[in-house]
Amino acid sequence: MGKGDGEMTRLWSYVLTVVGIGAMGVTLATQTIHLDQIDPLMLAILVALAAVTQRMPVFLFRSSAISVSFASVIASYVLYGTGIGVFVSLCQAGVNAFTPRRKPLVKAAFNAGSLSTSAFVAGELFRFMGPARGDLAPTLVAVAVSAAGYFLVNTALTAGVIAISERQRFAVVWMTNYAWMPLNFLATAAQGAALALASQALGVFGVIVFTLPLGVAWYSFRLYMSKSSEVRQRNAELQQVNDALRRSNDRLEESHLSVIGALIGALEAKENARAAAAAQTMANAVAVAERLGLSEDECAAVKLGALFHDIGTIGVPESVLRKPGALDEREWNEVKAHATIGANLLANVPMLERVRPIVLAHHERYDGTGYPLGLKEDQIPLAAQIVAVADAFQAMTAERPYRRAMSGKDAQQELRANAGTQFNPVVVEAFIALVSGEKKRTPDLGAQQIFEQALAAVRVRA
């Protein structure tokens, strides 16, 4: 037997149990009926009232509905005892079987069992409390207690069948459909009590007068559910809009990440050694940032700034970058333009917008004689100052067409000699302390590893 078969067995067992209990209630209730005490006209009015109000139920959020016909049931057992209350509830069930359209036999049988069981419990609770006929206060108390019993039994049985059929937790179903209803239900019960008391005091005229509040109760149910349904519909529409925005943001992020991948690919395609140098610069710069106590977000900015600081060189002619001799003024201006070119490239990638000032300022000098804006000291982003020191060290210790590579010790001396003019002295000392204590170089990273590190940094800054 599959899981679905097991659930169907549970559902059928539950329905048959409710039907069986309802049948027992009907049998017991029948024994309490005293025909000589019943006013046929009043009974006809109660049955008609139950049928009409049941024909116009208020549908709840899921698979259930409520009607003010419950007031007729209360009036019935207050006036004539449990048996007539159960009889009127069966009339309810008969109308419910065809409202708003014909229901399957199993559902109609369940409703009959549920309604008759609820009416039997309520009627017996009222009888147990035994208020004197026409005694207002005790009658209202007894009605309140019996109505609470009816409400709990009826809603529990209905929530149980919904929970089984829709594979939901009982508590969730009950809270969704019925948690808001006790006060409304109690108000309807009071109308039923008033109906019975009016009949006892004024006869049919009293019943007609007190039928109007039932209409008001029905309208309040309907208005509440109408407004609630509108709110739920608006919430559903907002959820759909939010889902659409989330999907759009996901697609936008994917496109931004693809651009980042393309930039890294361009960096490696330009010159593989340059990509490796960027990876080493990135590792050193991040280590210095951590040594200086920068936050995770600031370290992520340093990582991205170091990775993309020379991305603008893709706009500089290869002949200029590889020229073995001194650059003339035009060529030097082309090289200096790489900072601006790189910043402009990143401006088109929103996820890297906050990295743009680092790329733009990584050739600014501490004394204000750098390019492209001539910033100095604290005007230069600290991340850019860190990248500048790491980049200078990497450049000095690498082979160039026009000179040999410096030793690490000589490069450190050069950094210290330019501290306070080209570089931030604090950053220089932190960097030298770092590289002096290194036992081995950071391993070279390929494009994929660089891309993964970039994505990790982007997510930190997002």
Average pLDDT over residues 290-306: 86
Name the pTM for this structure. Answer: 0.45
Residue 219 CA to residue 224 CA, distance in Å, equals 8
Same domain, 205 and 301: no
- What distance in Å separates the CA atoms of residue 15 and residue 170, rounded to the nearest whole number? 15
Examine the domain organization and report whether 181 and 285 are in the same domain.
no
Are 308 and 373 in a shared domain?
yes
In this structure, are 280 and 187 located in the same domain? no
Indicate if 206 and 266 belong to the same structural domain. Answer: no
Range ranked top by mean pLDDT from 61-75, 107-121, 438-452: 107-121
Of the residues 226, 241, 272, the one at which a domain ends: 226
The dihedrals phi and psi of 65, each to the nearest 5 degrees, come to: -150, 165
Overall average pLDDT of the 408-426 stretch:
90
DSSP labels, 203-265: THHHHHHHHHHHHHHHHHHHHHHHHHHHHHHHHHHHHHHHHHHHHHHHHHHHHHHHHHHHHHH
One domain for residues 286 and 413: yes
Q: Is residue 238, in this structure, part of any structural domain at all?
A: no
Query: Could you tell me what percent of the chain has a pLDDT over 70?
Result: 72
User: Of 211, 226, 241, which marks where a domain is finished?
Assistant: 226
CATH number (domain holding residue 271): 1.10.3210.10
Residue 454 domain-assigned? yes
Q: What is the pLDDT of residue 1?
A: 42
pLDDT at 61 (0 to 100): 46
> Which of 184-193, 368-377, 438-447 is modeled with the greatest confidence?
368-377
**pLDDT at residue 434, rounded to an integer:** 86
What's the rounded Cα separation, in Å, for the pair 207 and 253? 68
Token pair for 380: 């230069």
User: Within 10 A of 59 (CB to CB), how many other CB atoms are there?
Assistant: 14
pLDDT reading at 445 higher than 70 = no
* Helices first, then strands: H and E counts in the chain: 18, 2
> How many whole angstroms from its chain centre is CA 105?
40
- Mean pLDDT taken over the chain: 77
Q: Which tokens go with 439?
A: 């036992």
Give the residue, 385 or 212, on which the prediction is more confident: 385
Mean pLDDT lowest among 229-243, 274-288, 314-328, 336-350: 229-243
Q: Rounded to whole angstroms, how far apart are CA atoms 414 and 431?
A: 12
Residue 178: count of CB within 10 angstroms of its CB? 21
Beta bridge partners of 66: 58
CATH number at residue 102: 1.10.1760.20
* Residue of 141, 218, 176, 150 whose CA lies nearest to 62: 176
- Whether 244 is in a domain gets the answer no
Where residue 327 falls among pLDDT bands split at 50, 70, 90? confident
Structural domain includes residue 270: yes
List phi, psi (to 5°) of 88: -65, -35
Kindly state whether residues 36 and 135 are assigned to the same domain. Answer: yes
Residues whose CB falls within 8 Å of the CB of residue 443, separated by 6 or more in sequence, listed in order: none
Closest CA to 200 of 120, 149, 139: 139
Please state, in angstroms and rounded to a whole number, the distance separating the CA atoms of residues 152 and 323.
Answer: 89
240 Cβ contact partners less than 8 Å away, ≥ 6 residues apart: none
Q: How many CB atoms lie within 10 A of CB 35?
A: 10
Do both 269 and 145 map to the same domain?
no
| Candidate ranges 60-74, 197-211, 330-344; pick with highest mean pLDDT | 330-344
Would 245 be classed as within a structural domain? no
239 within some domain = no
Q: Are 382 and 288 in contact (CB under 8 A)?
A: no
Residue 435 and residue 284 in contact, taking contact as beta carbons nearer than 8 Å: yes
Residue-by-residue DSSP string for 275-316? HHHHHHHHHHHHHHHHHTT--HHHHHHHHHHHHHTTGGGGGS
* Least confident residue range of 111-125, 228-242, 414-428: 228-242
Rounded CA Rg of the chain? 41
Q: What is the mean pLDDT of residues 86-95?
A: 88
One domain for residues 146 and 266: no
Higher-scoring residue by pLDDT: 242, 9:
9
pLDDT of residue 120: 94
Structure tokens at 330: 């035009």
Residue 181 lies in a domain: yes
Check whether residue 367 and residue 405 sit in a common domain. Answer: yes
What is the rounded CA–CA span in Å between residue 91 and residue 100? 15
Alpha-helical runs (H) found in 322-374: 329-347, 356-361
pLDDT of residue 447 exceeding 60, the answer is no
The tokens 């309140």 sit on which residue? 144
Least confident of 159-168, 192-201, 291-300, 415-424: 192-201
Structure confidence by residue, pLDDT tens digits, 248-268: 555 555 555 555 555 555 555
E strand residue ranges, 10-114: 58-59, 65-66
Range of the domain at 96: 3-226
Same domain membership, residue 372 and residue 277:
yes
Report the domain count for the chain: 2
- Asked if the structure places residue 232 within a domain, the reply is no
End of a domain among 167, 191, 226?
226
For residues 319 and 419, membership in a common domain is answered with yes
CA geometry: angle 58, 73, 53, nearest 5 deg: 30
Convert the pLDDT of each residue in 360-379 to its tens digit.
Answer: 999 999 999 998 999 998 89
- List of residues 6+ apart from 323 with CB closer than 8 A: 331, 401, 402
**For the chain, first and last CA: distance in Å?**
51
